[in-house]
Amino acid sequence: MRKLNLAIIGQGRSGKNIHGSYYISENNKYFNVKYVVDFDPFRREVAEQRYPGCSTLSDYKELFAKKDIDLVVNSTYSELHYSITKDLLLHGFNVLVEKPFSRTRYECDELIKIAKENNLTLAVFQQTFFAPFYQFTYDLMKSGKLGDIKQISVVYNNFARRWDWQTLQKKCAGGVYNTGPHPVGIALGLLDFDKDSKVVFSKLGLALTSGDSDDYAKIIVTAPNKPVVDIEISSIDCFSDYNIKIQGSKGTYKATPKSYQLTYIVDGENPPREVIEESLKNEQGDPVYCSEKLIKHEESGEFTGTAFDVGTATLYEQLYNKITKGKEMTVTPEMAAQIISVIEA
């Protein structure tokens, strides 16, 4: 199996710590780091030591003269995702772009159109869809074990403040653009990316961080005959203990990327009760509250792997098969564009 030659633009946190960590891991059987682009001389020096045999460049446009590149990874600042990806596609490169895909749905659709017209592979780094906790959650929801799903809560909260470029609107940053593609993606994924999904409520605010972009968001999304999805992205929540919670007619489930808990009832173990119109009373005739002890079952477990290891490795494996065999990827650019539609709204 031939490894594909890869060029990566940007050696910031994502480019170095997420993508770069995959490149030097034993999971990487598919790509050879041929070029690293970064304007910072120190980062280029580090890259030369980290990826033996690679060449480093200071400007991504220097890649245009190279004829030995199978894939370019765009891990630049968020506000450059659209413009650089467009430039790369127009110069004939397959591209993997970091999230957020772009600032607007229009930009996403334009990139998709250019890629299709030029028979190029365009992918978006939404690796959370391959995280074990997401896949387990999706399968559980579809199994019927929780009954009729009424509400899904997706919570990406902490208590912390930032003062870097990720707090600035001009950098296409803030909580919703930076963190949002993960919880919004999960929300749409659990709605099966219904084309009629829409934002029915949203409120964004700035609470703790510096800059002028949001660090608090409440977004409610739903689709016809689908559950309500309540999304929170907050920097002022000290007590959040789950990332996904599902409420169904037969039980409740909550999960983090590390573990899950599940409480549910089983058909036939709690027979239906007839409605009693009169006030309830005990054997002594005193009024009582309407309550009973349901027969319930509890489960819990832990997940092995996260979006950053299993998720990243799976996405890159699928990307290799897309480029070499034409096999479709689980996460399409159209799905990533729908995520941006929600964020833009």
**Number of domains into which the chain is organized:** 2
Q: Same domain, yes or no, for 165 and 119?
A: no
Q: Same domain, yes or no, for 139 and 288?
A: yes
Is the confidence at residue 309, as pLDDT, over 90?
yes
pLDDT, tens digit (0-9, with 9 covering 90-100), for 196-226: 999 999 999 999 999 999 999 999 999 999 9
Instruction: Retrieve residue 59's tokens.
Output: 């400007």
Q: Same domain, yes or no, for 248 and 163?
A: yes
pLDDT, tens digit (0-9, with 9 covering 90-100), for 81-123: 999 999 999 999 999 999 999 999 999 999 999 999 999 999 9
Q: Same domain, yes or no, for 271 and 141?
A: yes
Q: Same domain, yes or no, for 203 and 100?
A: no
Q: Please report the pLDDT score of residue 1 as a whole number.
A: 81
Confidence of residue 11 (pLDDT cuts 50, 70, 90): very high
CA nearest neighbour of 257 among 129, 137, 133: 133
Residue 323 is part of a domain; what is its CATH number? 3.40.50.720
Are 196 and 223 in contact, with CB atoms under 8 Å apart? yes
Please give the single-letter amino acid code of residue 35: Y
Q: Same domain, yes or no, for 27 and 105?
A: yes
Are 82 and 107 in contact, with CB atoms under 8 Å apart? yes
Which ranges in 105-223 belong to alpha helices (H)? 105-117, 132-143, 175-178, 181-190
Q: Same domain, yes or no, for 232 and 93?
A: no
Q: Same domain, yes or no, for 144 and 122?
A: no
pLDDT, tens digit (0-9, with 9 covering 90-100), for 235-294: 999 999 999 999 999 999 999 999 999 999 999 999 999 999 999 999 999 999 999 999
Q: Same domain, yes or no, for 84 and 147?
A: no
Average pLDDT, the chain: 97
Residues of the domain holding 21: 4-129+308-344
pTM of the model as a whole: 0.95
